[in-house]
């Protein structure tokens, strides 16, 4: 049983990993066909993987409703929200627009999902500002650098910032947008590259560990 | 879509927007309703995307329409195996789906990471120095030098195989300053991104406050304010009674 439960899945991981890795470095017609097929397979598997999250969410809220825990009534709105999007989508076959008019799912996307999603993220603007107030108390030179960089980027992207810059530092002959551009193109690139390099090395090593079966936490416990 | 539905949509969007913003005052049932609706609607949106972009065209149609392609059954079964996670006795079956995702994903990520995040970054650092003369290129060389020095110093900061003292410590300290510049700029960009979303929501609320939408924003806002006033006095009463007791 351990063969079916453990060794065959690990062998499959190794096989798919090595074949995919090899296909990148040995570009033949066969490897291109393999990559095309695997890309299709990956899309299908990822589609079904979504069911994991969906069932998990539904199960959790179903339990809240059946056990009548505090605020269980709100859980009903998870199902209402879900069917408010899915039923119109099925009726309009997933099309958002029919010619120049909105379909029912297009309506749901524009007036329900988009309104909720963009408001939810925009609310974070207030919390970012309050967090920044606490985080940006300049206690060291490094914190000052972080603060100044953030301030310049924020000022450089709004007309008010340009006006303030022109009034106070206009005599230098520089534009705040030019300073932001230089900041983003030179010192920020240096910092980002260092982090990307670290992430790349970490990603490559983890990938190799997964292919060779050294890292197998994703398989869960026996 | 009829004009009535568009007006109704304006009321729905304005209502949901104000319900979510009401959390800035305090947690309340309207926010919780909108929050749970968002969760469900988000899942619904992804579900319909997967249904019409993956399951129907890539699984259902190859199995039911000519030219038939039964090979799609393999990834479909691998995908369905993931759902066995919910049944502890057979949850080991999900390993087949996970190992495919992990194996294929790792095989794909390794060469792409080497190419884009590793070699391209080193190439990008060296490119500014590929000039034939100093004249006319001094600014490019200066900027390139700043990037190269900053990049190496940041790498020193993350390099733990040697003790950070002496020259290594100095280099890693310079690295921290470059990291702070990056974090500051990233923070600034995030703030501005969130604020542009905020302007968008305010713009929509302004639009729905017009006569065309029967003053949806004003009406909903007024109802919510009345709710908060009533709720304030309703929840305050027991406290006074307790004090008296």
Residues A83 and A33 placed together within one structural domain of the fold: no
Query: Given pLDDT bands bounded at 50, 70 and 90, which one contains residue B216?
Result: very high
A2 and A58 co-located in one domain: yes
Residue A217 domain flag? no
Q: Same structural domain for residues A1 and A57? A: yes
ipTM, two decimals, is 0.88
Based on the fold, state whether residues A41 and A83 are members of the same structural domain. no
Q: Are residues A57 and A24 in the same domain?
A: yes
By C-alpha distance, which of B235, B131, B186, B215 is closest to A196? B186
Split into its structural domains, chain A has a count of 2
Quick check: B60 contacting A, CB < 8 Å?
no
Q: What's the mean pLDDT in A67-86? A: 96
State yes or no: pLDDT of A87 exceeds 90. Answer: yes
* pLDDT tens track for A174-211: 888 899 999 999 999 999 999 999 999 999 999 999 99
Q: Which of A52-61, B128-137, B138-147, B220-229 has the lowest mean pLDDT?
A: B128-137
Quote the pLDDT of residue B48.
97
- pTM recorded for the entire structure: 0.87
A100: pLDDT confidence band, cut at 50, 70 and 90? confident
Per-residue pLDDT at B146: 97
What band does B205 get if pLDDT is binned at 50, 70 and 90? very high
Q: In the listed set A95, A119, A135, which residue is the last one of a domain according to the structure? A: A135
In chain B, residues with a C-beta closer than 8 Å to the C-beta of A204 are 110, 113-114, 118
Q: Which residues in chain B are contacts of A192 at CB distance < 8 A?
A: 182
Angle separating helix axes B167-208 and A141-156, nearest 10 degrees? 30
Check pLDDT > 60 for residue B240. no
B70 three-class SS: helix
Show which of A110, A135, A160 is a domain's final residue.
Answer: A135
Q: Does some domain include residue A110?
A: yes
Q: Is residue A181 part of a domain?
A: no
Query: So where are chain B's domains?
Result: 133-207
Map residue A20 onto helix, strand or coil. Answer: helix
Query: Are residues A2 and A41 both part of a single domain?
Result: yes
User: In B, which residues are within 8 Å of A85 by CB distance?
Assistant: 40-41, 44-45, 47-48
Q: What is the pLDDT of residue B238?
A: 59
Task: Give A 6-45 residues with CB within 8 A of chain B.
Answer: 6, 8-10, 12-21, 23-25, 37-38, 40-45
Looking at residues A153-157, what average pLDDT do you find? 89
Same structural domain for residues A79 and A45?
no
Measured in residues, chain B has a length of: 245
Confidence of residue B4 (pLDDT cuts 50, 70, 90): very high
- A3 in contact with B at a CB cutoff of 8 Å? no
CA distances from A18 to A86, A103, A213, A214, B96 (A): 39, 46, 12, 15, 16
Over range B206-220, report the average pLDDT: 96
Does any CB of chain A come closer than 8 Å to the CB of residue B5? yes
Whether A74 and A131 map to the same domain: the answer is yes
Q: Which of A135, A160, A183 is the last residue of a domain?
A: A135
| A144: nearest Cα among B177, B150, B169, B190 | B177
With a cut of 70, say whether residue B239 has pLDDT above it: no
Contact predicate B52/A89, CB 8 Å:
yes
Percent of chain A with pLDDT over 90: 72
Three-state DSSP class for residue A97: strand
Residue A81 located in a structural domain: yes
A146 inside 8 A of chain B by CB: yes
- Are A200 and B114 in contact (CB < 8 Å)? yes
d(CA A15, CA A12): 5
The answer, yes or no, to whether residue A95 has pLDDT greater than 80, is yes
Residue A27 lies in a domain: yes
Q: Find out whether the peptide bond into B67 is cis, omega within 30 degrees of 0.
A: yes
- Model confidence pLDDT, tens digit, residues B157-170: 998 888 889 999 99
Residue A213: is its pLDDT beyond 60?
yes
Q: Which residues pair with A97 in a beta bridge?
A: A102
Mean pLDDT of A40-45: 96
Rounded mean pLDDT, A60-79: 96
A24 confidence band (pLDDT: 50, 70, 90):
very high
Structural domain that includes position A98: 70-135
Mutual orientation of helices B216-244 and B3-21 as an angle, nearest 10°? Answer: 30
């Amino acid at each position: 049983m351990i063969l079916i439960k453990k060794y065959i899945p690990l062998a499959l991981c190794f096989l798919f990993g090595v074949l995919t890795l090899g296909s990148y470095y040995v570009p033949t017609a066969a490897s291109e066909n393999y990559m095309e097929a695997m890309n299709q397979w990956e899309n299908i598997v990822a589609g079904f993987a979504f069911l994991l999250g969906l069932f998990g969410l539904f199960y959790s809220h179903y339990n809240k409703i059946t056990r009548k825990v505090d605020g269980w009534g709100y859980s009903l709105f998870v199902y209402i929200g879900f069917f408010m999007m899915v039923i119109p989508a099925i009726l309009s076959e997933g099309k958002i627009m029919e010619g120049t008019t909105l379909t029912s799912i297009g309506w749901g996307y524009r007036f329900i999902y988009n309104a909720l999603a963009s408001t939810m993220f925009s609310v974070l603007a207030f919390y970012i500002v309050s967090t920044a107030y606490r985080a940006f108390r300049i206690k060291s030179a490094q914190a000052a650098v972080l603060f100044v960089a953030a301030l310049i980027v924020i000022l450089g992207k709004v007309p008010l910032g340009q006006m303030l810059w022109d009034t106070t530092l206009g005599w230098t002959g520089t534009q705040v947008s030019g300073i932001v551009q230089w900041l983003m193109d030179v010192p920020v690139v240096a910092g980002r590259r260092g982090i990307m390099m670290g992430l790349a090395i970490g990603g490559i090593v983890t990938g190799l560990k997964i292919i060779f079966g050294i890292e197998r936490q994703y398989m869960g416990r026996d | 879509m009829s004009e009535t539905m568009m007006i109704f949509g304006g009321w729905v969007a304005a209502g949901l927007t104000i319900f979510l913003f009401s959390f800035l005052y305090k947690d309340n049932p309207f926010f919780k309703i909108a929050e749970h609706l968002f969760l469900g609607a988000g899942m619904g949106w992804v579900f319909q995307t997967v249904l019409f972009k993956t399951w129907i065209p890539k699984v259902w149609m190859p199995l039911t329409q000519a030219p038939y392609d039964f090979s799609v059954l393999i990834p479909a079964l691998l995908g369905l195996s993931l759902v066995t996670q919910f049944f502890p006795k057979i949850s080991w079956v999900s390993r087949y789906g996970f190992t495919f995702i992990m194996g294929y994903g790792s095989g794909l990520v390794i060469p792409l990471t080497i190419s884009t995040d590793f070699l391209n970054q080193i190439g990008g650092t060296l490119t500014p120095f590929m000039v034939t003369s100093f004249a006319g290129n001094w600014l490019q060389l200066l900027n390139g030098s700043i990037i190269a020095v900053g990049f190496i110093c940041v790498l020193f900061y993350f390099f733990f195989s040697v003790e950070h003292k002496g020259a290594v410590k100095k280099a890693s300290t310079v690295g921290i300053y470059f990291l702070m510049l990056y974090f500051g700029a990233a923070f600034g960009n995030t703030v501005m991104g969130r604020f542009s979303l905020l302007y968008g929501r305010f713009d929509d609320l302004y639009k729905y406050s017009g006569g065309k939408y029967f003053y949806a924003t004003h009406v909903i806002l007024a109802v919510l304010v009345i709710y908060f006033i009533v709720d304030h006095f309703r929840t305050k009463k027991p406290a006074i009674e307790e004090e008296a007791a």
